[in-house]
Amino acid sequence: MKIARAPSTNRLSLTTQYTIAICLLTTVGMLVLTGYLLRNQILQNDKAVNEYGQVLVKQMAIATAQPLRFDDEEKLHQVMTSYINEYRVSGAAIFSTDNERIAALGTLPTPENIRVESAYYEIPVKADKRDWFNSYYLIHLHPIQNGQTKSGYAVLVLSHELMTKAFKQQLAIMVALAVVIMLIVTLGAFQLGRRLSDPIKHLVNATNDIREGRIDHIPDRRNDEIGALIDAINTMSQGLIRKTELESMLNKFLTEDVASKVMDHLDPVHMAGEHVDATVLFADIVGFTSISETITPEDVQELLNEYYGYFNACARFYFGTIDKYIGDCVMIVFGAPKYDANHEYHAVACAILMQKLVRSLNQKRAKEGLYPIELRIGINSGKMLAGLVGSKERMEYTVVGDAVNLASRLCNEAESEQIIIEESLYDKIHPNHPITVEAYKQIRVRGKQEEVSIYSVRDVDVPYQVVMDDLIKDILAGEF
């Protein structure tokens, strides 16, 4: 079963994501709306300024017609002065039909810049290129009529900067309001993000509590999508609890590695098992039938449990797995279900440790006036099948094959306190891990047509003997 990986802690929180998303949408919307309104406002403002100038210049043309007719320059200056003072006009002038300046006040275009064919045009103040914030002059012209005769032109000069001053102030206010609105939207988006993400955060914390075993379900009840998710998680949690209880129960009957392997192989596709290269150890208590006849069943149980505990400690130290207990016999597998590159040597070293441990126990038993316990051990290595074996109603994880059968036969052939291995196993171990063996011989084993060459193992190399002696002390002291 694959377990989903926990999300990275470097990712943005949901609150931050919601806030950013809402702010981005709001900002884009406000920019589009502001741009649209600003463009319309500029066009409307320019139109109003143009109409304002046209009205003023027309009024001035009417007001200066009589003084121009009678060459009353003083009256002309009075009229132009009143327009400059009262109507925010930058300049005023009267030109003849030949573009000659008759009267002028304020800022004015040169005669060559007078375009009598245009009623309105613009002249930049600082540059030829105009944009929204450049200063430029608006030139308005209107013919001065005396009856049906055109006697000249009235010219008004309006400063765009002066005429749009109020508009720029409004624009500044709009920008300030936009900034304030964005701040309000950001705070609102943050609060909304928290309201949306807090239930999810609570759900994440609750699932972590379930994973750590602090709670077994989420008590919250909601009538929305999150509530449906809580119900689904609670259902899943009950399944996980059942699985954990099953694993805990299996660990009482099987080693941890075997229990994990069984859980992983619940899928029918994997029921066929897998071929492995492993080593099997069979250890049998010699004369156990006679011993059991002299003691009570309770004492038999106590004796077996005590020695099985010791054997399990020896197996764990050398990465072995207790496959099963068969009466007074124990079967230990090395290299399966957990891979072990040195399973051959570990099996032999475990057997030597078991024999030495039993001898140390016998010394203690002799002082207590108890009968000795002796072991015989057979070991073999080779190809075997590891997997679930049994019926549909009851199965167990084990290894099977000819190599396993031979290990059992060698155990039966062994004598008291003897460890028997097959010749090929000795050849695999000896080059890298020197061991002391004796009594090379060939024997005929039941189920085999040809004789089998065997060795009797006595001990490991000297440095490893010291390690084993210290380990026996720890096992007897209950520290392993």
Name, of 103-112, 294-303, 457-466, the range with top average pLDDT.
294-303
Q: Check whether 2 has a pLDDT greater than 60.
A: no
Average pLDDT of the segment spanning 383-404: 87
Q: Residue 259: what are its φ and ψ, rounded to 5°?
A: -60, -45
Q: What is the DSSP letter of 3?
A: P
pLDDT of residue 128: 39
User: What residue has token string 């030495």?
Assistant: 356
Q: Check whether 304 has a pLDDT greater than 90.
A: yes
264 pLDDT band, cuts 50/70/90, is low
**Of the given ranges (58-62, 159-163, 230-234), which has the lowest mean pLDDT?**
159-163
Average pLDDT of the segment spanning 290-307: 93
What is the identity of the amino acid at 336?
A
263 pLDDT band, cuts 50/70/90, is low
Report the percent of the chain where pLDDT is more than 90: 32
147 pLDDT band, cuts 50/70/90, is confident
Q: Check whether 14 has a pLDDT greater than 80.
A: no
Is the peptide bond between 372 and the residue preceding it cis, with omega within 30 degrees of 0? no
The span from the CA of 355 to the CA of 131, in Å, is: 101
381 pLDDT band, cuts 50/70/90, is very high
pLDDT of residue 368: 92
299 pLDDT band, cuts 50/70/90, is very high
pLDDT of residue 116: 65
Q: 221: exposed, middle or buried (C-beta count within 10 Å: 0-12, 13-18, 19+)?
A: exposed
pLDDT of residue 227: 76
pLDDT of residue 4: 45
pLDDT of residue 331: 97
pLDDT of residue 414: 94
pLDDT of residue 132: 43
With contact defined as beta carbons under 8 Å apart, do 458 and 427 qualify? no
Q: Check whether 270 has a pLDDT greater than 60.
A: no
Report the percent of the chain where pLDDT is more than 70: 84
CA 159, 162, 166, 168 dihedral sign is positive
**How do the domains of the chain map onto residue ranges?**
14-168, 218-253, 256-476
Q: Check whether 277 has a pLDDT greater than 60.
A: yes
The 10s digit of each residue's pLDDT in 349-371 is 999 999 999 999 999 999 999 99
Helices 462-476 and 343-367, interaxial angle, to 10°?
A: 50
What distance lies between CA 381 and its chain's CA centroid? 44
pTM check: above 0.75: no
Q: Check whether 83 has a pLDDT greater than 50.
A: yes
pLDDT of residue 306: 94
pLDDT of residue 1: 43
Q: Check whether 254 has a pLDDT greater than 50.
A: yes
The span from the CA of 295 to the CA of 298, in Å, is: 8
Q: Does domain 14-168 have CATH number 3.30.450.20?
A: yes
**Of the given ranges (196-200, 293-297, 427-431), which has the lowest mean pLDDT?**
196-200
Calculate the dihedral angle through the C-alpha atoms of 349, 352, 353, 355, rounding to the nearest 10 degrees: 160
440 pLDDT band, cuts 50/70/90, is confident
What is the chain's mean pLDDT, rounded?
82
**Of the given ranges (162-176, 340-354, 464-478), which has the lowest mean pLDDT?**
162-176
**Of the given ranges (211-225, 320-334, 375-389, 452-466), which has the lowest mean pLDDT?**
211-225
With contact defined as beta carbons under 8 Å apart, do 441 and 357 qualify? no
The span from the CA of 271 to the CA of 392, in Å, is: 11
Distances (CA, A) of 426 to 18, 347, 430: 69, 12, 6
Class of the CATH-defined domain 256-476: alpha beta
Extract the tokens encoding 4.
């989903």
The span from the CA of 138 to the CA of 61, in Å, is: 17
Q: Other CB atoms closer than 10 Å to residue 147's CB: what's the count?
A: 8
pLDDT of residue 135: 63
